[in-house]
Chain A
Amino acid sequence: MRLIVERVSHGYGALEVLDDISLTVEEGEILAIIGPSGCGKSTLLGILGGLLKPSKGRVLTDGSAPEGSLNPITYIFQDFALLPWRSVAGNVAFALEHRRLGAREREARIDEVLAKIGLRDFASALPRQLSGGMRQRVGIARALAVRPAILLLDEPLSALDAQTREILIEEFLALWLAHRTTAVYVTHNLDEALRLADRVCVLSRRPGRIREMVAVDVGRQDRTPARLAPLRERLWRSIQDEARAADREYV
């Protein structure tokens, strides 16, 4: 499924947050969005998922969802958004409970995604018993269980330590290569963006505008730090002044 954003602007009251954003997320690509703190990345993602109504402009989807998709546009959250009173399996089940789905198939789907993410042995554990990395794996399992056509990820790894982040990037890439789900990936982390994305969209500081759209023209298997260095350098130059200015701002 493609996602088409047409001239979207958004404000909270008098605070203008997004200014005239137009872009298309192509079928089967990962579009990374980077930009300084408070520039409206989460707001944009909220608009893309239908959780926020933009002040101006509109968002369209194009194409059909995969077979058996229950929730075409699906989020993975920065703070995992797990129900603390439900087990791992219960949290995955939550996404399936209000769908036309027999109990049998629901169980099968839960089992399938837990196995895929390596959570089977933790099915009855409570979130508080798990490490941050495991919690985000539950978030990913829950998202996969509904067979999404478009994944929206809002800094999914930023609550994790550097090693765990590295491991989850690898796992996420492997999963993504198996499904090739269209994805929008918001991050602060240039390396994350360059490792995962087909294109990187650079937003200016608030009100967020598209400053640049950078294609990552290195095959995913060749993305070593050395190969990515020139792109990284270029992106950093593009955002550093904005990031410095945003850092010194107060509302």
Chain B
Amino acid sequence: MSEPLRFRGGGFVTRPKPISSCLAGLAVVAIWQAVASAGWVSPVFLPSPAGIARALAEMALSGQLWRHLAASLQRILLGFALGSAAGLAFGLALGLLSHARAAGLPIVSALFPIPKIALLPLFILWFGIGEPSKVATIALGVFFPMAIATYSGVDQVPRTLIRMAQSFDVPTHAVVAKVILPGALPGILSGVRISASIALILVVAAEMIGAEFGVGAFILTAGNLMRTEDLLAGVCLLSILGLAVGFLVSLAERRLLAWR
């Protein structure tokens, strides 16, 4: 007696389903809009998506949006540049030099878990309420994840590649530049991804503590005035900003890590 073999594989593999993705997004907005339009909830507590879009458009037209965005971006960029450059150098030292590792790793491990926003009051004491204290908070928040990502990236470079370079008498500086740094790049870029999102958190927190301009300051003011549409418009702005940063990092990964 012959019978067909019973198929028992399949499943457990996800495939991209773009239509489902779009439908889900549209459904959330549509239900939200319907609930808001029905008037069951006061618009102060739950403004409608249309209202938020209107608020965003008004912000863009009046020029407010750009002023707040520019203030936030400037802080992020400056803090990120300073913190990541220092973190990269420090992480490289941790990864390459035994003494630096012995001295630095316990210190980094002890300071890393401190939520850096807790240090903002101290920085305000040191640098005043203006820009430097905010930039310093962001830089410090970026420094630690960058240092740790770089350090573990260096650690993950296969030993055999280093031995290979040494076996061809490649000088030390070139081993660092041509073997260790490119080999650590995947780790470094994942550090960039983490620290960029930390920078976004910190800039909002710092701006809520004391700033005239900036997305964080805008959201706080809107909240105080119970202008919920503006508040959520600011939140949308942050979401867009976060997505944009993630997109840029992915782009960099695709370009720089094409060899993987």
Task: Identify the closest chain B residue to A85 (Cβ).
Answer: B259
In whole angstroms, what is the CA distance A52 to B167 when docked?
Answer: 11
B86 interface residue per 8 A CB criterion? no
Identify which of residues 86-138 in chain A touch chain B, using a CB-to-CB cut-off of 8 Å.
86, 94-95, 97-98, 126-128
Interface centre among A84, A127, A146 (most CB of B within 10 A): A84
B3 interface residue per 8 A CB criterion? no
Check A83 against B168 for contact (C-beta < 8 Å).
Answer: no
- Distance in Å from the Cβ of A72 to the closest Cβ of chain B? 10
Check A71 against B179 for contact (C-beta < 8 Å).
Answer: no
- Kindly list chain A residues whose C-beta atoms are within 8 Å of the C-beta of B244: none
In whole angstroms, what is the CA distance A86 to B174 when docked?
Answer: 15
Q: Say whether chain B's binding surface is mostly helix, strand, loop, or mixed.
A: helix
- Kindly list chain B residues whose C-beta atoms are within 8 Å of the C-beta of A86: 259
- Kindly list chain B residues whose C-beta atoms are within 8 Å of the C-beta of A51: 163, 166-167
Q: Type the 1/0 row for B144-172, where 1 means its CB is closer than 8 Å to any CB of A.
A: 00000000000000101101111111110
- Distance in Å from the Cβ of B260 to the closest Cβ of chain A? 7
- Contact flag A84-B179 (CB < 8 Å), given A51-B166, A79-B160, A98-B171: no
In whole angstroms, what is the CA distance A126 to B174 when docked?
Answer: 21
- Contact flag A95-B168 (CB < 8 Å), given A77-B160, A128-B259: yes
A185 interface residue per 8 A CB criterion? no
With an 8 Å Cβ cutoff, the count of chain A residues facing the other chain is 22
- Distance in Å from the Cβ of A86 to the closest Cβ of chain B? 8
Q: Which of A81, A97, A126, A128 contacts B164 (CB 8 A)?
A: A81
Q: Type the 1/0 row for A56-77, where 1 means its CB is closer than 8 Å to any CB of B.
A: 0000000000000001011101
A-B contact pairs, 13 of them (CB 8 A): A51-B166, A74-B167, A74-B168, A75-B163, A81-B160, A83-B178, A85-B259, A94-B165, A97-B170, A98-B174, A126-B259, A128-B259, A128-B260
Which residues of B come within 8 Å of A, CB atoms? 158, 160-161, 163-171, 174, 178-179, 182, 259-260
Closest CB pairs A-B (n = 5) = A81-B164, A85-B259, A75-B167, A95-B168, A81-B160
